[in-house]
C-alpha cells in the first residue's frame, strides 16, 4: 500500500496536493484501489499506482488533466469490457411473462376507451359553447380603467 507521500516521490511531483488532484481527477477509476489507513490516511494499491502513473504519463505528454483523465477512463472501461462480458452492477433483461403482457394490454385498452370517451365529452362541450357565441364577449379587464382617465 502506498501513501500520498510515497506517491509524490514515485510520480516525481513536488507537492502532495498534486497527488491529491490526480487522485480526485480519476477517483471513479481508482475507487477499487483506494483504502483508508490509520488517521484516515489515503492508501493506494499497486494497481492504483499503475493507473496514476498512466495518468501522469498522459499529462506529461501534453494533455490537460481533464483530457488525460478522460483518456484513462476510456482505456479502463474498454479494458473492463474486454475482461468480462458484463459490466459490474449490470442487470440482465428480464422477460415479462405472457400473463403480465395480457394484463398490460387490457389496461391499455381500458385507458384508450376512457380517453376516447373524454374526447367525445370535450367535443360536446366545445359544440355547446360555440352555440352560445351570440353573446358579446366580456369587456377586457382594462376597459374600466380607460373610462376613469381624464385627458383634458
Tell me the per-residue pLDDT of 46-95, one tens digit each, with 9 for 90 and over.
999 999 999 999 889 888 988 888 888 888 777 765 555 544 555 455 55
Do the domain assignments include residue 123? no
pLDDT at 114: 93
Do the domain assignments include residue 111? no
Do the domain assignments include residue 20? yes
* Angle formed at CA 99 by CA 105 and CA 92, multiple of 5 degrees: 95
**Domain residue limits at 36:** 4-82
To the nearest whole percent, how much of the chain has pLDDT over 90? 25
Q: Is pLDDT at 143 greater than 80 in this prediction?
A: no
Q: What CATH number does the domain containing 13 carry? A: 1.10.1660
Cell of 33: 484501489
Do the domain assignments include residue 42? yes
* Angle formed at CA 32 by CA 56 and CA 47, multiple of 5 degrees: 45
Find out whether 21 and 13 touch, Cβ atoms under 8 Å.
Answer: no
Do the domain assignments include residue 129? no
pLDDT at 96: 52
pLDDT at 107: 85
Do the domain assignments include residue 141? no
Provide the strand spans (E) within the chain. 34-36, 42-44
Do the domain assignments include residue 28? yes
Is 147 or 73 the better-scoring residue by pLDDT?
A: 73
Give the count of domains, the chain.
1
pTM for this predicted structure = 0.52
Amino acid at each position: 500500500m502506498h501513501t500520498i507521500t510515497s506517491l509524490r516521490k514515485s510520480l516525481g511531483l513536488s507537492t502532495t496536493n498534486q497527488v491529491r488532484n490526480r487522485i480526485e481527477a480519476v477517483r471513479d477509476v481508482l475507487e477499487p484501489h483506494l483504502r483508508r489507513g490509520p488517521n484516515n490516511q489515503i492508501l493506494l494499491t499497486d494497481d492504483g499506482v499503475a493507473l496514476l502513473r498512466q495518468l501522469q504519463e498522459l499529462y506529461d505528454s501534453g494533455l490537460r488533466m481533464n483530457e488525460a483523465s478522460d483518456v484513462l477512463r476510456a482505456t479502463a472501461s474498454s479494458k473492463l469490457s474486454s475482461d468480462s462480458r458484463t459490466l459490474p452492477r449490470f442487470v440482465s433483461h428480464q422477460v415479462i411473462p405472457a400473463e403480465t403482457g395480457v394484463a398490460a394490454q387490457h389496461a391499455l385498452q381500458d385507458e384508450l376507451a376512457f380517453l376516447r370517451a373524454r374526447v367525445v365529452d370535450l367535443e360536446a362541450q366545445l359544440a355547446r359553447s360555440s352555440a352560445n357565441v351570440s353573446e358579446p364577449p366580456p369587456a377586457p379587464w382594462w376597459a374600466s380603467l380607460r373610462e376613469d382617465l381624464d385627458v383634458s
